[in-house]
Amino acid sequence: MTDFASLLVPDRGQKVRPIHLVDKEGFAGWAKKRPAEDRALLEAQRFDGKTGFAFALLPRGGDFEVVSAVKNAAELSPWCLAKLAESLAEGTYKLADGEPGKASLGWLLGQHRFDDYRSKDDEPEQGPRVLLTGEPAKVERTVRLAEATALVRDLVNRPAAELGPAELEQAVSDAATELGARVRVTRGQELEAGYPLIAAVGGAATDARAPRLIELEWGKPGDPRVAVVGKGVCFDSGGLDLKSAAGMRLMKKDMGGAAHALALARMVIAERLPVHLHLLIPAVENAVSGAAYRPGDVIKSRKGTFVEIDNTDAEGRLILADALTAAAEGEPELIIDFATLTGAARVALGPDLPAFFASKDDLAADTLAVSDQVEDPVWRMPLWEPYQEMLKSDIADVANASNSPMAGCITAAMFLKRFVPETISWAHLDTYAWRDAAKPGRPKGGEALGLRAIFAMLQGRYSSH
């Protein structure tokens, strides 16, 4: 992984290239104060301070200064320095005025690449672009955020052939070894007996990609217990309700919820939040074989609820149901789950906004407030009780998919709600975990969406304990 800690360092008077940040309102006034030769150079480069992410270089003897356009020079966004980090020559830089603050995140992530499968023979080695900051106390936390985001991206980007349930288990085990946490893995007959929905969804895969429930625990038993659940479908063919070729193309990303959950767990532990953390990742491949579960099957869940399988491509909610049940058995005060759960959420909100469901209004309010502050947006959707009617089964307690084409992400959330006791605060994020088009600091591919918002919410709730 990229050595982010070497790219953001405290300002100790090192020799630097200054970066001047301007916006369209203030550019003219700023330019008037510059030497005439600077104004001529900016005009020659057609730099007017209005075009987002545009920048110009001003020669200074054998070196240069940078002028960059941002939306608001007084309030920097996380991504306003990302284009510079991607494009500038190697060296050390510093803002001419003020501190980078949350814009440091984009500076770091602008230099991260997932290039495990690219030949490097013909690519020139790009040296690091180092940013100085006068806020050394914020460096470590920003680096952790960048590392967590990069972890999600790298896991989601990895091909399914190289990231199955076993490899996901290894990623959790590696984190536990590094961070001093405990890991427990349930598989085989124990999984079939204790987590029948997880076992059923993963039952068609080969032995090498057999289903399992991966759990990590960390913290003191006396601290508030927080459970984090992540959907770990390492590849989703749709099962016997087979997806189309186009629908299957990106399904390596269907473990994006697990990637978010693991990244969040790593941040919680690194921050030493005073919680008793319980991470649960049901890891499966939804494959096709003679052992595949079938439409019309009825499966008794860990909770005891009988679930009729209406659609084998609605598998994520099944494995989450057993994992949520297990999480609730520990009596946590808060459960959070991440899942690439429904296409309906993308139809409703597009690729950038995770559909966010919360069982308690205070949990929703806390999360929405901090999501604005850290500029990691989520959008609250309703847990609309009348839509439970859409999940009726003629022969079982509940069907796993709606009998209506409407409100798909809501009915999926309502299915999950059945497996979380009303006494426990619960948040569910239906996230895309992917970026269809590149933006500065945010390449096309796997993406962390909602991760920073949830982490900020946990910090606000538990840092004062």
- Is the separation of the CB atoms in 182 and 218 below 8 Å? yes
Which three-class secondary structure state does DSSP give residue 429?
strand
Give the containing element (helix H, strand E) for 139.
helix 139-157
Nearest of 428, 432, 417, 415 to residue 349 by alpha carbon: 432
**Distance from C-alpha of 361 to C-alpha of 408, rounded to nearest angstrom:** 22
**Distance from C-alpha of 138 to C-alpha of 8, rounded to nearest angstrom:** 10
- Is the separation of the CB atoms in 112 and 146 below 8 Å? yes
Give the containing element (helix H, strand E) for 336.
strand 334-339
Rg (CA), the chain: 24
**Distance from C-alpha of 455 to C-alpha of 261, rounded to nearest angstrom:** 10
Burial state string for 145-178 with b = 16 or more CB within 10 A and e = fewer than 16:
bbbbbbbbbbbbbbebeebbbbbbbebbeebbee
For the residues of 213-259, what is the DSSP string, one character each? EEEEEES-TTSPEEEEEE-EEEEE--TTSPPPHHHHTTGGGGGHHHH
- Is the separation of the CB atoms in 154 and 117 below 8 Å? no
Burial bucket for residue 235 (CB in 10 Å: 0-12, 13-18, 19+): buried
230: β partners: 338
Q: If DSSP states are collapsed to H, E and C, what string results for 60-82?
A: ECCEEEEEEECCCCCCCCCCCCH
**What's phi and psi for 99, nearest 5 deg?**
-115, 155
Strands 398-399 and 306-308: parallel
**So which residues are the catalytic ones?**
243, 317
- Is the separation of the CB atoms in 153 and 263 below 8 Å? no
